[in-house]
């Protein structure tokens, strides 16, 4: 009988780095650090509004709860609008984002198969997974198999390839309205703060937080990440019931994205909104 010994995951080396992406991330962070020299209250306001629009409406509602988990349905035109807003967050196209997140749920914290496995450590799950790219996460011909519904759509394929270009009209419009302060805050500072807000869900909520549901991963409900990410920080709730539309289940669990879904439902624009099962709600005390 042959015994197969499973080898531990290899630590990435300096040669494995995607230097192009390292340079891009460094440049965006560097420009964002110019923000104190361009400060104005109106520029800060623009950053906050766009952080909410691209983060809560685009990523949390559009990419995550709608496209990835199909926890609600909206008209096709509205789905395209929400996906486009998500693409403007500069976190990848819809097929890339959905495929990666579905892998995360299928193989949560598996050091080899989860794209941002917290079992590899805080910094790996926070951002190192991006600069040490693996084919299953970054090769379109491979990752598309995890999002076949998205891959069949021509518009989503276009967004997946050209999402970076969407920053150009945003920057031009902001410059026309408020000059360089609006560009620095509305583009670069907004991108960086939204990146790290989103990445905290991959890292912090898989290391800390309360575990309402005892499931086979370390996801936790972490209130301060929920405030930064419009509800996504109620992550133990989400991992226990991924296809449920609300992440916050009790009135004190602030979930700004869920409030937006409720508005869409009241307007008749969202239907088949998946709510927590009654027996699970009884545990949510």
Q: Determine the Cα–Cα distance for residues 253 and 90; give it in Å rounded to an integer.
A: 27
Write down the mean pLDDT value for the chain: 93
Task: Answer yes or no: are the C-beta atoms of 105 and 98 closer than 8 Å.
Answer: no
Domain annotation covers residue 196: yes
- The band of 12, judged by pLDDT with boundaries at 50, 70 and 90, is low
Task: Answer yes or no: are the C-beta atoms of 257 and 240 closer than 8 Å.
Answer: no
Q: What range defines the domain where residue 260 resides?
A: 33-274
On the 0-12 / 13-18 / 19+ scale of CB atoms within 10 A, 266 is exposed
Domain annotation covers residue 87: yes
Return the pLDDT at 278: 82
Q: Determine the Cα–Cα distance for residues 139 and 103; give it in Å rounded to an integer.
A: 14
Domain annotation covers residue 92: yes
Domain annotation covers residue 282: no
Domain annotation covers residue 11: no
User: ∠ at Cα 69 (82, 96), nearest 5°?
Assistant: 65
- Closest Cα to residue 233, out of 261, 200, 260? 200
Q: Determine the Cα–Cα distance for residues 229 and 242; give it in Å rounded to an integer.
A: 17
pTM of the predicted model as reported, rounded to 2 decimal places: 0.92
Return the pLDDT at 261: 98
Domain annotation covers residue 8: no
Domain annotation covers residue 109: yes
Return the pLDDT at 1: 41
- What are the tens digits of pLDDT across the range 56-91? 999 999 999 999 999 999 999 999 999 999 999 999
- What are the tens digits of pLDDT across the range 138-177? 999 999 999 999 999 999 999 999 999 999 999 999 999 9
SS3 271: strand
Q: How many domains does the chain have?
A: 1
Domain annotation covers residue 28: no
Burial 69-107 (b: 16+ CB within 10 A, else e): bebbebeeeebbebbbbbbbbbbbbbbbbbbbbbbbeeb
């Amino acid at each position: 009988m042959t015994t197969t010994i499973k080898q531990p995951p290899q630590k990435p080396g300096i040669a494995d780095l995607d230097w192009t992406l390292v340079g891009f991330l460094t440049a965006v962070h560097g420009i964002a650090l110019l923000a104190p020299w361009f400060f104005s209250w109106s520029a800060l306001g623009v950053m906050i509004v766009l952080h909410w629009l691209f983060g809560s409406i685009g990523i949390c509602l559009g990419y995550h709860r709608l496209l990835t988990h199909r926890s609600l349905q909206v008209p096709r035109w509205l789905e395209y609008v929400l996906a486009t807003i998500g693409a403007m967050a500069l976190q990848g196209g819809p097929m890339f984002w959905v495929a990666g997140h579905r892998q995360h749920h299928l193989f949560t914290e598996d050091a080899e198969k989860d794209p941002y496995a917290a079992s590899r450590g805080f910094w790996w799950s926070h951002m190192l997974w991006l600069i040490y790219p693996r084919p299953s996460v970054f090769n379109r011909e491979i990752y598309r198999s995890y999002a076949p519904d998205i891959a069949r759509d021509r518009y989503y394929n276009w967004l997946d390839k050209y999402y970076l270009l969407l920053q150009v009209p945003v920057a031009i419009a902001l410059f026309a309205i408020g000059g360089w302060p609006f560009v620095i805050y509305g583009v670069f500072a907004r991108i960086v703060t939204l990146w790290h807000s989103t990445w905290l869900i991959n890292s912090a909520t898989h290391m800390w937080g309360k575990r309402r549901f005892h499931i086979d991963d370390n996801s936790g409900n972490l209130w301060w990440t929920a405030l930064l990410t419009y509800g996504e920080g109620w992550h133990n709730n989400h991992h226990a019931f991924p296809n449920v539309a609300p992440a916050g289940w009790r009135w004190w669990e602030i979930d700004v994205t869920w409030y937006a879904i409720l508005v869409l439902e009241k307007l008749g624009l969202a239907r088949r909104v998946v709510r927590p099962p009654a027996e699970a709600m009884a545990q949510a005390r």
